[in-house]
């Protein structure tokens, strides 16, 4: 199971623009079309194919992966297993890398390889209150369940 499949599950696909839960005009597999909140999706008279949405998703994930790999937290990030790294990337895709950096206690727990505490810290957040089911699935992986077990079963 790879990150793209996880994000496709979490984001869902929409060919036409819509407002995401945070109020941004979004399309495809969670691609934000504009940095301003509250704009009308009708101002964006476009459609996107599933194939194009996946290309945008791959591009955005690669960008966020590079930012994480070259950040002050790069050592912690680089030592995570693939499943946990995918969860951090998913969080960065959803809320942005800079917001993921703000999970200071989660990062401290990851540094100590205390994955139960890292999951608890991730869940003790506005993000988890806004997207509780997604956050709980992510926390399960941070605790040690595989992406495949969480997203297939």
**Mean pLDDT, the chain, integer:** 94
pLDDT band at 21 (very low <50, low <70, confident <90, very high): confident
The confidence band for 4, taking pLDDT boundaries of 50, 70 and 90, is confident
CATH of the domain at 93: 1.10.530.40
Which pLDDT score, from 0 to 100, does residue 152 have? 80
CA pair distance 121, 56, nearest whole angstrom: 30
Region 123-142 average pLDDT: 96
pLDDT at 1 over 80: no
Rounded to whole angstroms, the Cα distance separating 65 from 85 reads: 9
The count of structural domains within the chain is 1
Residue 123: Cβ within 10 Å count: 17
Domain residues for the domain of 121 are 3-152
Q: Quick one: pLDDT at residue 153?
A: 63
What would the DSSP string read from start to end of the chain?
--HHHHHHHHH--EEEEEE-TTSEEEEETTEEEEEEET--GGG------HHHHHHHHHHHHHHHHHHHHTSTTHHHHHHS-HHHHHHHHHHHHHH-HHHHHT-HHHHHHHHTT-HHHHHHHHHSSHHHHHSHHHHHHHHHHHHT--HHHHHH-
């Amino acid at each position: 199971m790879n990150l793209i499949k996880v994000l496709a599950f979490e984001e869902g696909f929409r060919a036409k623009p819509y407002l995401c839960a945070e109020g941004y005009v979004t399309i495809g597999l969670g691609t934000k079309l504009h940095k301003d909140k509250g704009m009308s999706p009708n101002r964006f008279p476009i459609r996107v194919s599933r194939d194009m949405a996946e290309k945008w998703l791959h591009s955005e994930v690669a960008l966020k992966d590079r930012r994480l790999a070259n950040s002050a937290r790069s050592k912690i990030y680089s030592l995570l297993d693939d499943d946990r790294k995918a969860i951090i990337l998913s969080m960065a895709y959803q809320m942005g890398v800079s917001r993921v950096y703000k999970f200071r206690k989660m990062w401290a727990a990851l540094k100590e390889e205390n994955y139960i505490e890292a999951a608890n810290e991730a869940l003790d957040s506005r993000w988890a209150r806004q997207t509780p089911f997604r956050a709980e699935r992510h926390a399960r992986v941070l605790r040690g369940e595989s992406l495949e077990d969480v997203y297939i079963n």
